[in-house]
Amino acid sequence: LRTSLKVHTSLHTSAGTNVVAAREEGARKDVTDEKDGHKSLYALQAERQGQAERSVLISYHSRINEKKFLKYLSRHGDINKYFFYESYGIYAVVEFGSRDSVASLLEETAIPSVNHEAMVPFKSRLLSLKNLGSADSPNQQSGPQCQPQTTVPINQLIQTLSKEGSIDQQVTSLTEAYQLTEENSRLRFLVCSLLKDIAAAYFPECTVRPFGSSVNGFGKLGCDLDMILDLDGISGRKTKMFMHQQIPDLIFADMPKQEPEFLTVQVDAASLLTFNSTVHLIPRSGLSLEYQLKRANSERSATQSILSVIGECVDQFGPGCVGVQKILNARCPLLRFAHQPSGFQCDLTANNRVAIKSTELLYLYGELDPRVRHLVFTVRCWARTHGITSSIPGAWISNFSLTVMVLFFLQRRSPPIIPTLDHLKDLAGPADKSVIEGNDCTFVSDFSKIQLESNTETLEQLLHEFFEFYATFPFSKMSINIRKGKEQNKPEVAPLHIQNPFEISLNVSKNVNATQLERFVALCQESSWLLQQSETSTPREPLFNCTTHGCLIGAWHRITSNQSLRASATVVVCTFFFSLDSREATSIQHQPDQAP
Ligand code: CTP
Ligand code: MG
């Protein structure tokens, strides 16, 4: 208790000195925590948020000399990191060593003067670089080296995968090619930070944090950016009043000699379960002040009002934010818009704490065993290629549902590759306790407490078994349940029932219709059969040297093991594994006897 208070105590003496102030965020978890070689999601997020707040996003001209640009900026302070990328023009992300440098840079930044148009003079950290001097030397005209922010072009991926010697290597290689890069992750946090600056006009203490696949370890380059406007950090929110006599002795460990007149002690909810909340001590005088606040009918309607106003602000004042839609009547109200400079499709929600927990859970599962992420990436990719998933909302299976299906499958292996959620809950310590709107979201955060069983199955085996598992799963009667790690009787009539891990009365895949489920099952059957063909062909035919990529999910198996297909003049492989979305839809014309 005392140790915890050393960090959490915020003491205002009669002289008004703030002796120790710690952000609740840091107090909840040790942000430097790195156990068993795994960085906690809190640690990762805190690091990325810090970087984002010290960063600016600058629209750049390729003709400008890079060195000159950096020299110009470094007049404001040391630059920690910078990179360039392309999205409707070239942009530079520049992270300074301190926020003072950003302030100094903004101080010097001008508001453009335009004669014929009116501008909203909203200052943000999205800037444009102007070159008022002479043009740079011709050898600079090639422009800076840009970091890719989208998946590699399809042909390039095929080339990469076709050099791999096995399905296991291909799966690994596919994950590496698709997963978010360091730069893309930084850019995601920077966009959150820019959004925070807009929302901060109303709520200066708010935070905007990413969730979902941007941070759970399963994000593919180009995936949407899910964000939460977090108002929980607003000081004084969620407080309970206690007379300090009720906690004798508690608060005096690190106090200055003189008796404080007014005392605020913020106590970590988890480590002080007795109080179960942030504690606010009533001053000795017995008086205190409260803010007068507008009341809303419900938490939901408060969230809708806040998002509506922020949506207006983003739409009218937010540089680079276009196509703002307010989707306020959804189960989870949200704002949807495109952030043009980053190229991200953004969804901003508020008061969505359960989603943060499910992001943490997915992150934890992904960190437990590398096969988890590999399999999720591959299955998602396979599903997208076959049109089982789509970027457009509809009656199809979502990526989130697919991920939960992969996790469930891995829990059902013998021995299991990952533990059940109930087991993770049993391992939880007091600091992990979390109940959100009546939903128990408790699970262990300390990776070192989790003992894994020794399952040695290869990725190829697992991929095959995954298809086999769902090709024969009793969807009509049973529900997928990662909490129990065992299928349960379906509580309601829905073609596909996947219990939400935390809001257990909800079906994650409520949107899925019977046709879509049937397509999924049929494709699982086909893919399972195709993989089986490759396993049983003896001697195992090395697929065309340059087409090993085809063995990954299938069509090439059929092509190369079937004489009549092989003999056909031209094999047209289209919408196969790699035509991942409509932008990339490619048809590959391939003469069977030639390397593509
Ligand atoms: N979520 C949920 N229940 C759902 C849908 C989503 O709890 N029915 C939560 C999950 O935490 C999910 C997050 O909202 O990760 C974001 O949803 P979504 O963008 O649909 O999925 P992602 O996991 O981000 O995957 P994608 O790459 O397709 O965006
Ligand atoms: Mg998402």
Note the pLDDT of residue 40: 86
Q: Which of 9-13, 104-108, 188-192, 310-314 has the lowest mean pLDDT?
A: 9-13
Q: Taking a C-beta distance cutoff of 8 angstroms, is the pair 453, 396 a contact?
A: no
Q: How confident is the model at residue 91 (pLDDT cuts 50, 70, 90)?
A: very high
**DSSP calls for 70-130:** HHHHGGGS-EEEEEEEESSSEEEEEEESSHHHHHHHHHHPPPPP-SSS-------SEEE--
Question: What angle is formed at CA 533 by the lines to CA 458 and CA 570, rounded to 5 degrees?
Answer: 115
Note the pLDDT of residue 136: 59
Q: Give 443 Cα–ligand 2 centroid separation in angstroms.
A: 23
Note the pLDDT of residue 135: 58
Report the distance separating Cα 99 and Cα 122, nearest Å: 19
Cβ burial, residue 107 (10 Å; 0-12/13-18/19+): exposed
Q: Give 326 Cα–ligand 2 centroid separation in angstroms.
A: 17
Q: For residue 65, give the nearest of 17, 117, 12, 134 by alpha carbon.
A: 134
Percent of the chain at pLDDT exceeding 90: 63
- Indicate which residue's Cα is closest to atom 6 of ligand 1: 400
User: Which atom of ligand 1 is nearest the CA belonging to 212?
Assistant: 15
Q: Is 399 in the pocket of ligand 1 (CB under 6 A)?
A: yes
Report the distance separating Cα 531 and Cα 557, nearest Å: 8
Q: Is 485 in the pocket of ligand 1 (CB under 6 A)?
A: no
Q: Give 391 Cα–ligand 2 centroid separation in angstroms.
A: 10
pLDDT over 60 (residue 560): no
pLDDT over 60 (residue 32): no
Q: Is 349 in the pocket of ligand 1 (CB under 6 A)?
A: no
The verdict on whether omega for the bond into residue 415 sits within 30 degrees of 0, i.e. cis, is: yes
Q: Which of 18-22, 194-198, 392-396 has the lowest mean pLDDT?
A: 18-22
Mean pLDDT of 194-213: 96
Note the pLDDT of residue 401: 97
- 405 CB-side CA count, 13 A: 31
Q: Is 398 in the pocket of ligand 1 (CB under 6 A)?
A: yes
Q: Taking a C-beta distance cutoff of 8 angstroms, is the pair 497, 433 a contact?
A: no
Q: Is 226 in the pocket of ligand 1 (CB under 6 A)?
A: yes
Q: How confident is the model at residue 38 (pLDDT cuts 50, 70, 90)?
A: confident
Other beta carbons within 10 angstroms of residue 149's beta carbon come to 20
Q: For residue 246, give the nearest of 267, 215, 224 by alpha carbon.
A: 267
Assembly ipTM? 0.99
Tokens 């829905």 locate to 494
Mean pLDDT of 531-546: 54
Note the pLDDT of residue 393: 86
Structure tokens at 90: 């070239």
Cβ burial, residue 50 (10 Å; 0-12/13-18/19+): middle
Mean pLDDT of 123-137: 82
Q: How confident is the model at residue 414 (pLDDT cuts 50, 70, 90)?
A: very high
From 209, 226, 381, give the residue whose CB has the most ligand 1 atoms within 8 Å, as the site to mutate: 226
Q: Is 555 in the pocket of ligand 1 (CB under 6 A)?
A: no
Q: Is 473 in the pocket of ligand 1 (CB under 6 A)?
A: no
Nearest ligand to the CA atom of 180? 1
Q: Of residues 211 and 31, which shows the higher confidence score?
A: 211
The verdict on whether omega for the bond into residue 539 sits within 30 degrees of 0, i.e. cis, is: yes
Give per-residue pLDDT as tens, 308-361: 999 999 999 999 999 999 999 999 999 999 999 999 999 999 999 999 999 999
Q: Is 579 in the pocket of ligand 1 (CB under 6 A)?
A: no
pLDDT over 90 (residue 162): no
User: Which atom of ligand 1 is nearest the CA belonging to 391?
Assistant: 28
Give per-residue pLDDT as tens, 94-120: 999 999 999 999 999 999 887 777 888
Q: Give 210 Cα–ligand 2 centroid separation in angstroms.
A: 9
Nearest ligand to the CA atom of 389? 1
Q: Give 322 Cα–ligand 2 centroid separation in angstroms.
A: 19
Q: Give 262 Cα–ligand 1 centroid separation in angstroms.
A: 44
Q: For residue 475, give the nearest of 582, 382, 401 by alpha carbon.
A: 401
In angstroms, the Cα distances linking 252 to 1, 13, 288, 429, 468 are 12, 13, 21, 27, 63
Q: Taking a C-beta distance cutoff of 8 angstroms, is the pair 530, 554 a contact?
A: yes
- Indicate which residue's Cα is closest to atom 12 of ligand 1: 212
**DSSP calls for 472-518:** S--TTTEEB-TTTTS-EE-SS--SS-BB-SSSTTSBTTTT--HHHHH
Q: Is 508 in the pocket of ligand 1 (CB under 6 A)?
A: yes
Which neighbouring-strand residues pair with 95?
55, 81
Report the distance separating Cα 409 and Cα 417, nearest Å: 9
Look up residue 157 and give its amino acid.
Answer: L
Q: Give 503 Cα–ligand 2 centroid separation in angstroms.
A: 18
User: Which atom of ligand 1 is nearest the CA belonging to 355?
Assistant: 11
Phi, psi of 211 (to 5 degrees): -145, -175
Structure tokens at 93: 């992300």
User: Which atom of ligand 1 is nearest the CA belonging to 399?
Assistant: 28
Nearest ligand to the CA atom of 349? 1
Q: Is 213 in the pocket of ligand 1 (CB under 6 A)?
A: yes
| Residue-averaged pLDDT of the chain | 81
Give per-residue pLDDT as tens, 219-261: 999 999 999 999 988 877 765 544 444 444 444 444 444 555 5
pLDDT over 60 (residue 564): no
Q: How confident is the model at residue 37 (pLDDT cuts 50, 70, 90)?
A: low
Note the pLDDT of residue 284: 74
Q: Of residues 72 and 154, which shows the higher confidence score?
A: 72
Look up residue 220 and give its DSSP letter: B
Question: What angle is formed at CA 123 by the lines to CA 120 and CA 124, rounded to 5 degrees?
Answer: 125
Q: Taking a C-beta distance cutoff of 8 angstroms, is the pair 14, 260 a contact?
A: yes
Mean pLDDT of 274-296: 73
pLDDT over 60 (residue 420): yes
Q: Give 211 Cα–ligand 1 centroid separation in angstroms.
A: 8
Nearest ligand to the CA atom of 403? 1
Q: Give 354 Cα–ligand 1 centroid separation in angstroms.
A: 11
Q: Is 581 in the pocket of ligand 1 (CB under 6 A)?
A: no
Mean pLDDT of 252-277: 47
Mean pLDDT of 540-555: 38
- Indicate which residue's Cα is closest to atom 7 of ligand 1: 355
φ/ψ bin of 245: left (φ > 0), alpha (ψ from -120 to 50), beta (otherwise): alpha
**Rg of the Cα trace of the chain?**
27
Q: For residue 455, give the nearest of 395, 522, 375, 534 by alpha carbon.
A: 375
Q: Is 389 in the pocket of ligand 1 (CB under 6 A)?
A: no
Q: Taking a C-beta distance cutoff of 8 angstroms, is the pair 420, 444 a contact?
A: no
- Indicate which residue's Cα is closest to atom 28 of ligand 1: 399
From 400, 505, 581, give the residue whose CB has the most ligand 1 atoms within 8 Å, as the site to mutate: 400
Q: Is 224 in the pocket of ligand 1 (CB under 6 A)?
A: yes
- Indicate which residue's Cα is closest to atom 21 of ligand 1: 400
Give per-residue pLDDT as tens, 439-477: 999 999 999 999 999 999 999 999 999 999 999 999 999
Q: Give 226 Cα–ligand 2 centroid separation in angstroms.
A: 5
Note the pLDDT of residue 535: 74
Nearest ligand to the CA atom of 399? 1
